[in-house]
Chain A
Amino acid sequence: MSWDKFIDILSTILYTQTGLFHLHYKLVIMWGIGLLFVYLAVAKKYEPLLLLPIGFGIFIVNFPLTPLMGVDASGKRELINIFYHYGVEWEVIPCIIFLGLGAMTDFGPLIANPKTLIVGAGAQLGVFVTFLGVLFCGFTLKEAASVGIIGGADGPTTIYLTAKLAPNLLGPNALAAYSYMAMVPLIQPPIMKLLTSQEERKIVMKQLRPVSKREKIFFPLMVAGVTSLLIPAVTPLMGMFMLGNFMRESGVVDRLAGTAQSSLMNIVTIFLGLSVGATMHAEKFLTAKPLLIFSFGLVDFAICTVGGITTVKIMNLFSKEKLNPLIGSAGVSAVPMAARVSQMVGQQEDPHNFLLMHAIGPNLAGVIGSASAAGMFIAMFG
């Protein structure tokens, strides 16, 4: 074999079978973005369960010629594309995550104080305001709806709605939702302090009544029935959420409830994070839209926080038993982080005021509220 022939074969191998000659600065930027999220997950512990697989997905998919998100010569989907197709495109994983969340959730504080449901509705204000803002910036109606739901601070709902209405925005939307959820302790306190007086922050709320086992068993059946009747589009999410909770509260299928809230949820979380991260290829991600989505996501969170607090203040005008307006910020879901923030800010004013259990009510109402908002958008554009 001549030297020229050898060089020719070697260069062909290097060009067609390695990624060396296909590197591009955009890919390197995406590695940086992927590694940034991995850093936030590992070093800062920001939503590590999701941000770690998402960050790794972004990193690994942005290597040239990797057979991960495409279709091979014989038409078969490649590894992560299979997870994405059957898990996210088929809208299976967000619903399974809701099943697990239901199995993990104790609705006692919400059942004990049903008034807080209204706070969960008020905290959806940002979803609709952002929808208009995003629309104004040139997004389509479906894209605007999927960006608006970020403020609902509910990861699975955001992914479910985006996969349905604007799959092209799945990566940035999910990333914005989970990033801002992790940053709730940074975003919310200044807004909470700005909107409330010292006296309001010191309001001590009446202790919650005990909730019987029978009430807890009846609750998921009632919520599933009412929401399915009023917003059928949200039944896949709410139905699974309430099934998980019914399994937990019934007490007769502990094995199923245990599996739903641990093993099953962990398995689908891996597939979800990796699939979402892998949708963020440089060619799709490095455009103006993701930047706008991140900016609007932040505004969305802020307006939702304002909506929740304002709703509590309005309710206080008509109510004898005053609610502490700090629990309003927990209406953005982000369970239980937002409730912990209410407790933290409340204790800065009065160390003997325990708001955590009171804030869990609007927090759970926020989950129902954001799922309802998603259902409304699906009914509108789906």
Chain B
Amino acid sequence: MFPVEPQVVDWGYAISTLVIRFVGIFVVLGVLQIVMQVTGRIFSLLDTRKQSKKLQSRPSPKTLTREEAAAVGMALYMYDKTD
């Protein structure tokens, strides 16, 4: 019946240890998933803080008065004309 000589196997041991080990893979990868989710959140938080610090350290854009804006506009116009 068997293409290969049958071996004496303790089926109870084989099946129970297999079930435990299959579940074990879920446990191992589940632990990895949890660690990755936690570290992912920590890194996202750190990145957000870093970015907000960068934004804060940038000089705030200065609002020009009408006269200053006109002067800049004129200067740019003159610069174009010289080309």
Contact = CB atoms under 8 A, between A and B. Distances in A.
B7 A218 contact: no
A323 interface: no
Interface residues on B, range: 20 to 34
Interface string A351-369: 0000000000000010011
Interface of A: 111, 114-115, 117-118, 120-122, 124-125, 128, 131-132, 135, 137-141, 209, 212, 214-215, 218-219, 222-223, 226-227, 230-231, 288-289, 291-292, 365, 368-369, 372-373, 376-377, 380
A118 B26 contact: yes
A368 B32 contact: yes
B6 A138 contact: yes
A22 to B, nearest CB: 28
Given A121-B26, A141-B9, A372-B28, A222 B14 contact: no
28 contacts: A117-B32, A118-B26, A118-B30, A125-B22, A128-B18, A128-B22, A131-B18, A132-B15, A138-B2, A138-B3, A138-B7, A139-B4, A139-B7, A140-B7, A141-B9, A212-B43, A214-B46, A215-B43, A223-B32, A288-B4, A289-B4, A292-B4, A365-B29, A368-B32, A369-B29, A372-B28, A372-B29, A376-B25
Given A114-B37, A117-B33, A135-B7, 19 more contacts: A114-B40, A117-B29, A117-B36, A124-B25, A128-B22, A135-B9, A218-B39, A218-B43, A222-B32, A222-B39, A227-B28, A230-B28, A231-B28, A289-B4, A365-B29, A368-B29, A369-B25, A369-B29, A372-B29
Contacts of B18: 128, 131-132
Contacts of A120: 29
Contacts of A139: 4, 7
A308 to B, nearest CB: 13
**Overall SS of chain A's interface:** helix
Given A114-B40, A215-B39, A226-B35, A132 B14 contact: yes
A372 B4 contact: no
B24 interface: yes
Contacts of A138: 2-7
Given A115-B33, A218-B39, A226-B35, A141 B4 contact: no
Nearest to A216: B43
A313 B80 CA distance: 64
A372 B36 contact: no
A74 to B, nearest CB: 37
A111 B38 CA distance: 11
B83 to A, nearest CB: 42
Given A114-B40, A139-B4, A141-B9, A226 B31 contact: yes
Contacts of A215: 39-40, 43
A380 B17 contact: yes
A231 B3 CA distance: 35
A218 B36 CA distance: 10
B49 interface: no
Contacts of A226: 28, 31-32, 35
Nearest to B23: A121
Interface string B28-68: 11111101110110011011000000000000000000000
Contacts of A222: 32, 35-36, 39
Contact of B25 (A141, A289, A373): A373
B3 A292 contact: yes
A140 B8 CA distance: 9
Contact of A214 (B7, B27, B43): B43
A17 B57 CA distance: 84
Nearest to A368: B29
B19 to A, nearest CB: 8
A135 B25 CA distance: 21
Lowest 10 CB-CB distances: which A-B pairs, in order? A138-B4, A288-B3, A114-B36, A376-B21, A117-B29, A121-B29, A138-B6, A117-B33, A114-B33, A121-B26
